[in-house]
């Protein structure tokens, strides 16, 4: 994901422009500000701005006048209590803004989270770069036979090579047609060129777009609980994992509690919990007598690490 000389210079200028402030800052996140974290083949994630820290969560929960004199372990315990019991508003006091470069198909999946402020690069006013996402060979997989939303075995050999060839050829041809319709380079001075808002419509979904995405910590945790999950699509999960690194630097106590009680935890239905209790009592319970569907039984066995 090489940045252009202009982009590198802009980042350096932004990092050089320091400002004095009385508001709380987080040195670990300050060190990451504006830097582009590579994601996928041409994408990136950058922290542009933030507000609040772990202390802001505690302050909001206690409605105190400042940071107070309580020990750090008391603040950590309160944060863990808040997440464990699914309190949300204290975490809404912290906000973060990202600059993200991502394939259009990932952006369309991402935008389903309607709890953020978003401003996307507009192809009505500007021309998109000739950059496309092409999966690495290890992420080129067949459709799963058991999960309609998942991937199965990795493609290999001639089939994999042909898929990669088609992805590159289709994206390249679509972009070339896009450029021809625009005629921005006046290759044919006699032609006026199609409006940008129309020329963009034939671009492939692996074309890269960019946006600014701002959200609060509560809604960010909800996003990450879904998109950093191992079952999430790899491409959006790659961005979620990069975001986790920024959250770890920004609010380490909240991050720790989130990993313990949300990201690394599991939720059991009443029926699942009943099966666990019956088994702990020494009863031999299988799927037929459990009262669970085959799918829910399989999910329970996976949670308990007993899947065949």
**Own/partner long-range contacts of 220-229 (Cβ < 8 Å, ≥24 apart):** 220/96, 220/247, 221/83, 221/91, 221/254, 221/258, 221/262, 222/113, 222/115, 223/113, 223/115, 223/116, 224/258, 224/263, 225/258, 225/262, 225/263, 227/110, 228/263, 229/263
Determine which of 19-23, 54-58, 248-252 has the lowest per-residue pLDDT on average. Answer: 19-23
SS3 assignment, position 103: strand
Give the residue numbers annotated as catalytic, written as ranges.
Answer: 227
Position 71 scores a pLDDT of: 78
Co-location of 82 and 161 in the same domain: no
Q: Where does the pLDDT of residue 65 fall: very low under 50, low under 70, confident under 90, or very high at 90 and above?
A: low
Task: Give pLDDT tens digits for 154-170.
Answer: 888 999 999 999 999 99
Helix (H) / strand (E) containing 95? strand 95-103
Q: What is the pLDDT of residue 17?
A: 87
Q: What is the pLDDT of residue 1?
A: 59
- pLDDT surpasses 70 at 67: no
Number of domains in the chain: 3
Say if residue 19's pLDDT is above 70. yes
Residue (of 97, 44, 56, 68) closest to 212 by Cα position: 97
Domain that holds residue 180: 134-205
Percent of the chain with pLDDT over 70: 96
Instruction: Write down the pLDDT at residue 277.
Output: 97
Tokens 């006048």 found at: 65
Do 101 and 230 have their domain in common?
yes
pLDDT digits (tens, 9 = 90+) for 240-266: 999 999 999 999 999 999 999 999 999
User: In this structure, is residue 161 part of a structural domain?
Assistant: yes
The CA angle 113-49-71, to the nearest 5 degrees, is 95
CA distance 38 to 58: 33
Q: Which residues contact 20 (CB under 8 A, 6 or more apart)?
A: none
Q: How far apart are CA 305 and CA 276, in angstroms?
A: 13
User: What pLDDT score was predicted for residue 102?
Assistant: 97
Structure tokens at 258: 């989130």
Report yes or no: 113 and 243 within 8 Å, Cβ to Cβ: no
- SS3 per residue for 75-93: HHHHHHHHHHCCCCHHHHH
Predicted local distance difference test score (pLDDT) of residue 68:
62
Residue 190 reports pLDDT greater than 80 = yes
Say which CATH number the domain at 99 has: 3.30.1360.170
74 within some domain:
yes
pLDDT of residue 2: 67
Residue 3: predicted pLDDT: 80
Residues 44 and 98 reside in one and the same domain? yes
- Say whether both 44 and 110 belong to one domain: yes
82 and 42 in a common domain: yes
- 66 lies in some domain: yes
Q: Report the chain's mean pLDDT, rounded to a whole number.
A: 93
φ/ψ (deg, to 5) at 281: -80, 0
If asked whether residues 147 and 229 sit together in one domain, one would say: no
Band of pLDDT at residue 189, cut at 50, 70 and 90: confident
198 pLDDT above the threshold of 90: yes
In a shared domain, residues 104 and 250: yes
Q: How confident is the model at residue 64 (pLDDT cuts 50, 70, 90)?
A: confident
Per-position DSSP letters for 153-200, written without gaps between them: EEP-HHHHHHHHHHHHHHHHHHHHHHHHHH-TT-SSTT-----HHHHG
Asked if residue 143 lies in contact with residue 151, where contact means CB atoms within 8 angstroms, the answer is: yes
- pLDDT higher than threshold 80 for residue 70: no
Q: Mark whether 285 and 243 lie in a shared domain.
A: no
150 and 38 co-located in one domain: no
Is 283 within the bounds of a domain?
yes
Report if residue 215 sits inside a domain: yes
Tell me the two tokens of residue 234: 């790899």
Residue 213 lies in a domain: yes
Whether residues 102 and 229 fall in one domain: yes
State pTM to two decimals: 0.92
308 assigned to some structural domain: no
Task: Report yes or no on 65 lying in a domain.
Answer: yes
Pair (94, 227) in one structural domain: yes
Q: Give mean pLDDT, residues 85-114.
A: 96
Of 3-17, 47-61, 214-228, 265-279, the range with the lowest mean pLDDT is 3-17
pLDDT in the model for residue 193: 93
- Name the token pair of 77: 């315990």
Share of the chain above pLDDT 90, in %: 79
Q: Is 75 found in the same domain as 61?
A: yes
For residue 150, pLDDT over 90 is answered with no
């Amino acid at each position: 994901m090489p940045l252009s000389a202009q982009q590198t210079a802009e980042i350096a200028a932004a990092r050089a422009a320091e400002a004095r402030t009385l508001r709380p800052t987080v040195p670990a996140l300050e060190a990451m500000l504006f830097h582009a974290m590579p994601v996928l083949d041409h994408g990136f994630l950058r922290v542009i701005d933030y507000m609040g820290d772990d202390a802001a969560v505690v302050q909001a929960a206690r409605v105190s006048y400042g940071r107070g004199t309580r020990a750090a372990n008391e603040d950590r315990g309160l944060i863990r209590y808040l997440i464990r019991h699914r309190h949300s508003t204290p975490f809404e006091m912290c906000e973060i803004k990202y600059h993200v470069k991502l394939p259009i198909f990932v952006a369309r999946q991402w935008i389903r989270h309607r709890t953020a402020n978003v401003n996307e690069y507009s192809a009505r006013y500007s021309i998109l770069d000739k950059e496309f996402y092409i999966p690495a060979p290890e992420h080129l997989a067949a459709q799963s036979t058991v999960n309609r939303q998942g991937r199965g075995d990795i493609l290999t050999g001639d089939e994999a090579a042909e898929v990669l060839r088609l992805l590159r050829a289709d994206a390249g041809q679509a972009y070339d047609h896009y450029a021809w319709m625009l005629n921005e380079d006046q290759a044919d001075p006699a032609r006026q060129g199609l409006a940008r808002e129309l020329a963009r419509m034939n671009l492939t979904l692996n074309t890269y777009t960019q946006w600014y995405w701002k959200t609060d910590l509560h809604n960010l945790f909800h996003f990450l609980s879904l998109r950093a999950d191992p079952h999430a699509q790899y491409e959006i999960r790659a961005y979620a994992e990069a975001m986790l690194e920024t959250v770890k630097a920004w609010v380490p106590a909240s991050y720790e509690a989130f990993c313990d009680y949300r990201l690394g935890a599991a939720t059991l239905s009443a029926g699942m919990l009943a099966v666990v209790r019956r088994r702990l009592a020494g009863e031999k319970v299988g799927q037929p007598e459990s009262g669970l569907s085959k799918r829910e039984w399989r999910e329970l066995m996976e949670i308990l690490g007993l899947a065949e």
